[in-house]
Amino acid sequence: MKQYRLEQAEKNIFAVHQVIYSNSDIEMWYDWNTRLDDTKFTDQCFWIMCDNDRIGGVVKINDTLMFPFIIPPFSDRQLMWRILLNCCEEIRNINGVLQDDGNILLSSGFKVNVIRQVMCCPTDASKKPVITNGFSLYMLDDSFDITKIKEVMKEGYRGGIDYEIFGVPNDEKIMEDLSYLLQVYKHRNLSIHVVNEQNQEIVGLCIAGISENMPLGFAEIGELCIVPQYRNKGIAEFMLNYIKKSASDYTEVVKLCVTVGNYAEILYKKAGFQAGPRFARMTKRSM
- Phi, psi of 99, deg, nearest 5: -60, -45
Q: Residue 113, CB half-sphere, CA atoms under 13 Å: how many?
A: 12
β-partners of residue 214 are none
Question: How far is residue 210 from each of residues 185, 187, 222, 245, 254, measured CA to CA in Å?
Answer: 5, 6, 10, 14, 9
Q: How far apart are CA 120 and CA 200, in angstroms?
A: 33
**pLDDT at position 235, please?**
94
Q: Per-residue pLDDT for 166 more than 90? A: no
Burial of 157 (C-beta count, 10 Å sphere; 0-12/13-18/19+): middle
Best CA proximity match to 258, nearest among 160, 55, 118: 118
Q: How far apart are CA 285 and CA 92, in angstroms?
A: 8
Residues 167-199 have pLDDT tens digits of 778 888 888 999 999 999 999 999 999 999 999
**pLDDT at position 125, please?**
64
Q: Per-residue pLDDT for 287 more than 70? A: no
- The mean pLDDT value for 202-224 works out to 94
**pLDDT at position 252, please?**
95
**pLDDT at position 210, please?**
97
Give the predicted TM-score (pTM) of the model.
0.90
Q: How far is CA 13 from the centre of its chain?
A: 26
Domains in the chain with CATH codes: 4-108 (3.40.630.30), 120-281 (3.40.630.30)
Between 283 and 159, the higher pLDDT residue: 283
Q: How far is CA 121 from the centre of its chain?
A: 15
Helix axes 77-87 and 99-106, enclosed angle (nearest 10): 60
Between 282 and 146, the higher pLDDT residue: 282
Phi-psi region of 243 (alpha: psi -120 to 50; beta: other; left: phi over 0): alpha
Residues 6-65 have pLDDT tens digits of 999 999 999 999 999 998 999 999 999 999 999 999 999 999 999 999 999 999 999 999
How far the first Cα of the chain sits from its last, in Å, is: 31
Q: How far apart are CA 45 and CA 259, in angstroms?
A: 27
Between 20 and 148, the higher pLDDT residue: 20
Three-class secondary structure of residue 45 per DSSP: strand
Averaged pLDDT score across all residues of the chain: 92
**pLDDT at position 183, please?**
93
Q: Per-residue pLDDT for 265 more than 80? A: yes
Q: For residue 1, what pLDDT band results from cuts at 50, 70 and 90? A: confident
Best CA proximity match to 160, nearest among 113, 228, 93: 228
Between 274 and 166, the higher pLDDT residue: 274
β-partners of residue 102 are none
Q: Residue 197, CB half-sphere, CA atoms under 13 Å: how many?
A: 7
- Phi, psi of 83, deg, nearest 5: -65, -50
Three-class secondary structure of residue 236 per DSSP: helix
The residues near 54 (Cβ < 8 Å, ≥ 6 apart) are: 17, 47, 48, 71
**pLDDT at position 7, please?**
97
Residues 75-103 have pLDDT tens digits of 999 999 999 999 998 999 999 999 889 99
Q: Per-residue pLDDT for 72 more than 90? A: yes
Q: For residue 164, what pLDDT band results from cuts at 50, 70 and 90? A: confident
